[in-house]
Amino acid sequence: MSGMKDIVIFIGPPGAGKGTLARLCCERMNWTQLSTGDLCRQHVVQKTELGQQIDLLIKSGKLISDSLVLEMVKKWLQEQLTWSEGIILDGFPRTQVQAEMLDLMLRETLQDSYTISVVKMELDPDIVVRRLMARVVCSNKTCQAVFSTKNIAKTKKNNDSDELVCAECSSPLVRRADDVEPVICERLSIYQSHASQLLDYYKASGRPIYSLDVAQPVEGVFEQFVHLKNGFNLR
Ligand code: AMP
């Protein structure tokens, strides 16, 4: 690894569009995305004992333990030999402990050659529930594209049935097990119980915090993000 690394942390409730924006940044700006939700779901797919425990937690909307998430992130960081333009942390850190440990890990790995910026994505809880109730994701674990049944033009129907298939890889689209109303509410309340502490931590450590208006289609959000990136101290 060489040069300065831009690390951008997306902080926002589930359904704010963190993953969708991160995906666009990877496709269009050659950034790298770390989604701890995806790392957790990979464990579930492997059906190990640990995967089964994680599955139960995800299905009930609870957080995975800080120590387990940090172990996954550490392994992921070690495997990233080259980080292109920047790295987006999507869904991590979610607690102050995770934020503190991330700082330690980055200092150990990169010494002073990195910047951290925080991008806050706030969204009305009613919109969160509506968005997540309409969310469908690609069942192909290497694709994982995300769509909305409200925007059906972006998905396509399988020729022989009403099944929705992914516009990118044609695999079936499915609902996430945790996108059901009681679990969405639990996830929202857990997010709300940690978010202000997390933002205070970054404020106190002098990291810039930017806000994005995410109550609009993703292209508009992406434009705002590019504007932020060009206008502030992100390279
Ligand atoms: P996401 O895909 O970010 O919505 O995450 C889905 C689920 O994975 C969460 O509801 C948690 O159960 C788990 N998870 C993802 N990231 C974290 C994290 N940083 N800390 C704890 N649990 C996490």
What's the pLDDT tens digit per position in 87-136? 999 999 999 999 999 999 999 888 888 899 999 999 999 999 999 999 99
Q: Note the Cα 224 to chain centre separation in Å.
A: 18
Looking at residue 172, what DSSP letter applies?
B
Q: How many domains does the chain have?
A: 1
With a 6 Å cutoff on the Cβ, whether 94 touches ligand 1 is yes
Please enumerate in sequence order all residues whose Cβ is within 8 A of that of 43, keeping only pairs 6 or more positions apart, or say none. Answer: 50, 51, 54, 72
> The whole model's pTM is what?
0.92
pLDDT of residue 1: 44
- For residues 29 and 18, the answer to whether their CB atoms sit within 8 Å is no
Asked if the structure places residue 167 within a domain, the reply is: no
Give helix then strand counts, H and E, for the chain: 8, 10
Please answer whether residues 174 and 139 qualify as being in contact, where contact means their C-beta atoms are separated by less than 8 angstroms. Answer: yes
173 part of a folded domain: no
172-194 mean pLDDT: 96
Average pLDDT, the chain: 90
The CATH number that applies at residue 18 is 3.40.50.300
93: preceding bond cis by omega (within 30 degrees): yes
Looking at the domain assignment, is residue 169 inside a domain? no
**Could you tell me if the CB of 14 is within 6 A of ligand 1?**
yes
Instruction: Flag whether 161 is in a domain.
Output: no
Q: How far is the CA of 105 from the centre of ligand 1 (A)?
A: 19
Helix axes 181-204, 125-133, angle to 10 degrees: 130
- Whether 80 has a pLDDT exceeding 50, the answer reads yes
Distance 37 CA to ligand 1 centre (A): 4
| Domain range for 214 | 5-123+180-229
Give the model's pLDDT for residue 185.
Answer: 97
Indicate if ligand 1 lies below 6 Å from the C-beta of 64. Answer: yes
146 close to ligand 1 (CB < 6 Angstrom): no
